[in-house]
Structure 1
């Protein structure tokens, strides 16, 4: 009975004071205090390629089916990284502690002049978000980072399904191409000369 379940989470006094039943109120009561998500607007950056957004969204929540997760479920016999085979393949490792993804990230930073030394995905996003660049430039960096996460995940899947791993140069080349092609296709009409020149020179 619903009434019996409600008495498990509400006191009798709380129930008697509830003028009307609210699904929202009961849901929040069941879930308890939740930390606010601060990266949702960043992940769903309209300039990003949709499939890149989706993979980044999963990565930010540690929802990708890594070998570490599959091994935990008993689906995979190994939890080792399918790219470098040097450590357990979890989200922290893939983005970007793995020697392969770390080198991809290094070249991405060199291309975009990101000075942050961090190799942690969430910290990188915070650093970009809090940086002194223009809103447009921050959006471009996040488009590139989303593309990088997607391409690293794609390389990991290629290792599993095709038993081949694209070179770092291949990943970085496609990262640049995807980012530039996407932005040229959806370039904002109102853009400062400085931002236009910065992007054009990337």
Structure 2
């Protein structure tokens, strides 16, 4: 890739991460995931921090717990994404976090729809990361359907805050369908 292409891709990802609908904590975790900077077991082992490259705590599959497994290949994460896609009514490829953001940016949707779907993606990344950490550090197992419900609740609240804006009126039918 040329330097210009890389800069363009970074700008597209930044546009999808830095929108007003995101909660700050979701935005931060999404930004780290898009850069593959979250401290997964695989990354910590590579840094020499005392974690072995053990099985994923969410799906118990063997193999390294890295960004690709945790957010793309993990069966538990796929169940969350499946529930969200049914609610959204939109098919988004299950690929790396930054590639999903690029996909959203390149779609010919109104700006508000792009931002809502980016927020859903950010919330998904955040709650998967939180569920992983709760299982490791607190011994709490989180149900995938409760994650989907939390994401729906948060996104509906964020939509309601911005529903009267000029941008929202351009895709009001879609937004109202999500809120019902």
What is the CA–CA distance in structure 2 between the aligned matches of 1:46 and 1:194, rounded to whole Å? 17
Name whichever structure is richer in helix by fraction: 2
Change (3 A) 1:180 1:192: closer
Please, what TM-score do these two structures have when normalized by structure 1?
Answer: 0.77
Instruction: Tell me the residue number matched to 2:35.
Output: 61
Give the Å deviation of 1:57: 0.5
**2:60 pairs with 1:85:** yes
Separation of aligned partners in 1, 2:93 and 2:66: 21
Question: Structure 1 residues 133 and 151 mapped into 2: Cα distance closer, same or farther (>3 Å)?
Answer: same
* Alignment-derived partner of residue 171 in structure 1: 147
Determine the C-alpha separation between the residues in 2 that align with 1:179 and 1:133: 18
Q: Which residue of 2 aligns with 1:183?
A: 159
For structure 2, which runs of at least 5 residues remain unmatched after alignment?
A: none
Greater relative CO, 1 or 2 (CA 8 Å, sep 6+) = 2
2:44–2:50 CA contact under 8 A, matched in 1: yes
- Aligned-CA RMSD value: 1.9
How much has 1:193 moved relative to structure 2? 4.5
- 2:117 corresponds, among 122, 138, 141, to 141
Task: Note the residue ranges of structure 1 that are not aligned, 5 or more in a row.
Answer: 1-32
- Distance in 2 between residues matched to 1:120 and 1:145, nearest whole Å: 11
Aligned to 1:73: 47
Name the structure 2 match of 1:155: 131
- Count of matched residue positions in the alignment of Structure 1 and Structure 2: 170
- More divergent stretch after superposition (164-173 vs 33-42): 33-42
- Bigger CA radius of gyration: 1
Q: List per-residue Cα deviations over 1:6-46 (Å, max 9, x = no partner).
A: xxxxxxxxxxxxxxxxxxxxxxxxxxx68312311211112
Q: Shift of the alpha carbon at 1:109?
A: 1.4
CA distance in 2, matches of 1:61, 1:193: 33
